[in-house]
Structure 1
Amino acid sequence: MHRIAIAGASGRMGRMLIEGVRGADDCQLAGALDIAASPAIEADAGAFLGVNTGVPIVADLRGGLKNAQVLIDFTRPEGTLAHLAACRELGVQAVIGTTGFSDAQKGEIAEFAKDIAIVLAPNFSVGVNVTFKLLEMAAKALSTGYDIEIIEAHHRHKVDAPSGTALKMGEVIADALGRDLKDCAVYAREGITGERDPSTIGFSAIRGGDIVGDHTVLFAGIGERIEITHKSASRATYVQGSLRAVRFLADKKAGLFDMSDVLGLK
């Protein structure tokens, strides 16, 4: 059995992860974490399902991780880094779906990965990660004569933009074209911008309602357009991808991996 702790246990994603772990024959809920201010602290992690798991939601990291082999974390960057410090201390692996990390914070994660095994991905949907591979192929074939724009839409509560998935799409495309996304990304247009620089990759972010996550990459040429789109209708896809990552880590001691490693797409 894979003994799993869930961070952000009382949030939307945390609850779906708890439900997913409970529904998997080879997984066991071993811990549930949340911030001290959460009204769910000390409540049973399965209370929202009307079941008693025997696992309370706690703010104490070491207490919440002591029985776990792996932590699944879809929270905020600062919280995730604190969680990883505790994971390293206790020898707990980590599956990280948090987005919005700075380059310095990504460097901290790489340091943690020298001691524990981590899967870090901006999106754990299997379909999205297959889409990354399709984008790599398309970018290489459409390297000249096509303008590239990435459009993403998410729910009103999302706090970072562009989404981590959109940025990953940009990185995949830029790498395939031999470019650095930092040098060619355009995140905003307003006023008299002049003609489009054909070497750029544009981003547009939409926020509203309860949109789970829509991403479209547009390759716009003369006389034709190619659109590669992925739409998420439920966060359940992220749960199943996360559990695949947990299983992938079962025989890993240390290292930083992503979903391409988990799915064998490299």
Structure 2
Amino acid sequence: MKVAIVGAAGRMGQMLIREIARTEGCSLAGASEAAGSKAIGRDAGELAGVAATGVKITADSAAAIGAAEVVIDFTVPAAAVAHAGIAADKGVSMVIGTTGLDARQTAAVHDCARRIPILWAANMSMGINILMALVEKTASLLDPGYDIEVLEMHHRHKIDAPSGTALALGRAAAAGRKVRLEDVWRKSRDGHTGARPAGEIGFATLRGGEEVGVHTVMFAAAGERLELSHRAFSRETYASGAVRSALWLTGKKPGLYGMKDVLGL
């Protein structure tokens, strides 16, 4: 499979290029970066620390995407939407790991998925996606007297909060309780907030250092607390899941898919 990486000079972009280099059945066909990047014109493989690929990083994302069968995007919301539009126009499948999209941007991705297969996941880690399934099941088994809190920590450079993964875990818990997350969430607390309402799903966000990602879902009741946790020690787990997802998209019909589909959960 010919794969394009947008945001190729970023930490995840380089990790994805290394993952492609060691994955049988994959080859790097295109790589792009934002105009003005110092990486423009460099060999994508050499920049990522692997053998030269002959693929030069370009500011022309349309050319990079057009050279591939699937494009993987870990960029920023506005860029991800633009790349989805290009992929849809060119008939190129897409894997999106970008989070923090607003309602308008999310709708745009859904529109593109009517024309091409798109796999979009807040987190490509196998472990995290199994955790989501466990959270949904646990929430369905415990009575509403158990308070649900989602705690997450990431590196100091992360730009969205709560993380997309934390929100996905909250949605899993809400699905287990058969409620809409937006109807019960509390994203932050400050000052005199009063007692915690019954049924609320709360979020706590920590930022600092180079933490790759820590997520814990707490089910707290009188006398006990159940915690389900996952910690990522390397972005390799995200890159591995993204490339696996790109291969999984082979031959799929247009539509919006998730990691549950890839893992058969």
TM-score (norm 2): 0.98
- Measure the CA separation in 2 of the matches of 1:209 and 1:46: 28
Residue matched to 1:215: 215
Q: Deviations over 1:69-102 (max 9, x none)?
A: 0000000010011111111111100000000011
1 CA distance for matches of 2:76 and 2:198?
A: 35
Counterpart residue identity of residue 44, structure 1: D
Residue of structure 2 in register with 1:236 after alignment: 236
2:38 alignment partner in structure 1: 39
Q: Which range is displaced more, 122-131 or 49-58?
A: 49-58
Aligned partner of 1:113 in structure 2 is: 113
Mapped to 2, the partners of 1:50 and 1:87 lie a distance apart of 27
- In the other structure, the counterpart of 1:10 is 9
Deviation at 1:50, TM superposition (A): 5.6
Deviation, 1:170, is 0.6
Q: Deviations over 1:116-170 (max 9, x none)?
A: 0000000000000000000011001113221110000000000000000000011
* Rounded Cα–Cα distance in structure 1 between residues aligned with 2:241 and 2:136: 21
Identity %: 46
Q: Report the counterpart of residue 83 of structure 1 in structure 2.
A: 83
Partner of 1:46, secondary structure, is helix
Structure 1, unaligned stretches of length 5 or more?
A: none
Alpha-carbon distance, 1:183 to partner? 1.3
How many angstroms does 1:62 deviate by?
2.2
Task: Check the 8 A contact 2:81/2:109 in 1, yes or no.
Answer: yes
Q: TM-score, normalised by structure 1?
A: 0.97
Q: Does 1:66 align with 2:73?
A: no
Aligned to 2:20: 21
Q: Cα gap change, 1:143/1:108 in structure 2, threshold over 3 Å: closer, same or farther?
A: farther
Q: CA deviation at 1:236?
A: 0.5
Q: Which runs of 5+ in 2 are unaligned?
A: none
Aligned-partner Cα distance in 1 for 2:68–2:253: 15
Alignment root-mean-square deviation, CA: 0.9
Shift of 1:67: 1.8
Amino acid at match of 2:73: D
Stretches (4+) displaced over 6 A: none
State the match for 2:173 in structure 1. 173
The answer to whether the 8 Å contact 2:18/2:50 transfers is no
